[in-house]
Amino acid sequence: MVISCAKKGSISGGPKDEKPPVFIKALPPNFSTNFNKNEIRIYFDEYIKLKDPQKQIIVSPPMDPKPTITPLGGASKYIKIEFLDTLLPNTTYSINFGESVVDNNEGNANPFFRYVFSTGDFLDSLSIKGTVGDATQKKPDSYITVALYEIDEEYSDSLVYKTVPRYITNTLDSIAFSLHNLKEGKFKLIALKDVSNNYLYEPKQDKIGFYEEIITLPEDTAKVFNLTLFKETLEFKALNPKQVSKNKFLFSYEGIRDSMKVALLSNTPETFETRIFPDKEKDTLHYWFKPFFKADSLLFEVSNSTNYKDTLIARFKDQYKDSLLINSTGGSILAPNKNFIFSANTPLDSINEKLISLTDKDTLDIPFSIVLDTYKNEAELTFEKTENNAYQLQFLPEAIKDFIGNVNDTININFRTKKVADYGTIFLTLQNVENYPVLVQVTNEKEEVISEKIVRTQETLVFDYLDPNKYYVRVIFDSNDNGKWDTGSFLKGVQPEEIRYLAEPIDVRANWEIKQTFILD
């Protein structure tokens, strides 16, 4: 006889469950007519949970208050829907669960389950489909609300701000949408990046897209509707100013600055002066003044070229005085096609070039010139650069004076140039451009613009001195020839200027010249 011990091991539990939960029945049944219940129960063959129900589950037409849908957080073999609002008569309702219904163990989803019922004698059966893109993003946002507003005697375009639509759906995590169980009629088609998830358009935070024409059903059911989301420019409005230091106020605003002017209406000393320049990143105007004087509050008048005018009151008190700080804006590497630019935290007033020196790695003095731009509050230093060199820019005391009387101490700024062979070049040819001008932009993966050119005729574009990286190319159809992309307006019925993207990124390598053709189909 042979005696041996049992082998240790673990029970596998069998193969992994990869089957989604299966719908068994619903009470009342799915696709019921003459519906008059306050509750629905939908049964499955196993325990289920609801995943991201706030994003995934769409009730169309919308209800206020929204129905209560369970389970939430737990598991159950059925979904219970309780209506807290009176249902509309002779209306087909659709509850689209997206991919929210998942099994309790493995999270397998029952994809795009829908429960449909009608409070009338029949179910509406028309449908439309389409896509949603983004005017400025190569990859559009997910979970976009797509809505239909019924065109009747009460309709106006302003309803999108204050009234929920007749029908809604959601793109979930794709760009495609479909709306089902629609009735005959005329409708306005809208897409919203609905931040508040309230089905109302709030321009301060939401994006909007719209189809220009009125949709007529059933005639337009065969069409594919392509919508483009954009962020509208708000109407100009000046916000309350804020004093942030002894001689400085910040004036924030909404919309386009458009020759924004600030005038102080309060009594001031005879020697009173101001300096105003825009912030480089925020919708803010920097308002500097001298000399400081005493007052409890100040009254300002803000205006712009669109006949906007408003008076604003700001608290006023003695605070600390800003010190002068100089910083370079381009980093430590200077490309051959760029000039060295420096700026300050206070308004630059004068620069004494005699107290400034520029030397290279061999300590040779380099001739230079400096141009001061008080509107941008920056100075541009121009000199003849050589590749693979190191430079030191030195400011001796009092070389720079700012608007409020500060002067600098000794400042040393080091930067360098690289070898020309360290950069790459893109030679870009556009084909099938029907209307000029166009604005061609080269961007990085974050869609930050690295270089751009305005093109008015057929030509080969050269984007040189590019660091090795992946770059994206986009073409803006500059229909109003103002050298920038312009957004749309829903109430004016204006679509944003069209942007086309080169399908694949361009991989730029050091010392490479890449020839690329962009065919604008």
Q: What is the mean pLDDT of residues 162-173?
A: 92
Do 220 and 258 lie in a common domain? no
List strand residue ranges (DSSP E) for 282-377, in order.
Answer: 284-290, 297-303, 309-315, 326-328, 340-344, 348-351, 356-360, 369-373
Q: Is residue 13 included in any domain, yes or no? A: no
Residue 124 lies in a domain: no
The confidence score (pLDDT) of residue 307 equals 87
CB-based contacts of 369, cutoff 8 Å, min separation 6: 353, 381, 382, 383
**Whole-angstrom Cα distance, residue 236 to residue 196?**
23
pLDDT exceeds 90 at position 496:
yes
Strands 438-443 and 145-150: unpaired
What pLDDT does 19 receive? 87
Question: Residue 338 has which token pair?
Answer: 């760029």
CA distances from 75 to 19, 107, 292 (A): 17, 11, 67
Do 173 and 214 sit in the same domain of this protein?
Answer: yes
Say yes or no: 406 and 374 in one domain. Answer: yes
Residues 5-21: pLDDT tens digits? 555 555 555 566 678 99
pLDDT for 33 equals 96
Same domain, residue pair 220 and 270: no
Alpha carbon distance 439, 461 (integer Å): 11
Do the domain assignments include residue 60? yes
**Residues 470 and 413 reside in one and the same domain:** no
What residue numbers bound the domain in which 300 lies? 237-315
Last residue of one domain, picked from the residues 418, 442, 458: 418
The CATH number of residue 505's host domain is: 2.60.40.10
CA atoms within 13 A on the CB side of 302: 24
- Dump pLDDT digits (tens) for 414-466: 999 999 999 999 999 999 998 899 999 999 999 899 999 999 999 999 999 99
Domains in the chain, number: 5
CA angle 398, 403, 404 (to 5 degrees): 90
Burial of residue 394 (CB within 10 Å: 0-12, 13-18, 19+) is: middle
On whether both 391 and 426 belong to a single domain, the answer is: no
Write down the pTM of the prediction: 0.85
> Rounded CA gap, 301 and 311, in Å?
4
SS3 state at 423: coil
Task: Show the tokens assigned to 146.
Answer: 């797509």
Instruction: Return the bridge partners of 328, or none.
Output: 342
- Please report which confidence band the pLDDT of residue 271 belongs to, taking 50, 70 and 90 as the band edges: very high
CATH label of the domain that carries residue 109: 2.60.40.1220
The answer on 412 and 494 residing in a single domain is: no
pLDDT band at 64 (very low <50, low <70, confident <90, very high): confident
How large is the average pLDDT for residues 346-351?
A: 96
- 305-319 pLDDT, tens digit per residue, is 888 999 999 999 999
Confidence of residue 181 (pLDDT cuts 50, 70, 90): very high
pLDDT class of 173 with cuts at 50, 70, 90: confident
Determine the residue type at 501: Y
Domain check: are 337 and 296 in the same one? Answer: no
pLDDT band at 1 (very low <50, low <70, confident <90, very high): very low
What are residue 111's phi and psi, to 5 degrees?
Answer: -75, 130
Asked if 427 and 515 sit in the same domain, the reply is yes
Over residues 505-521, mean pLDDT: 94
**What is the distance between the terminal CA atoms of the chain, rounded to a whole angstrom?**
83
Which of 418, 445, 476 terminates a domain? The answer is: 418
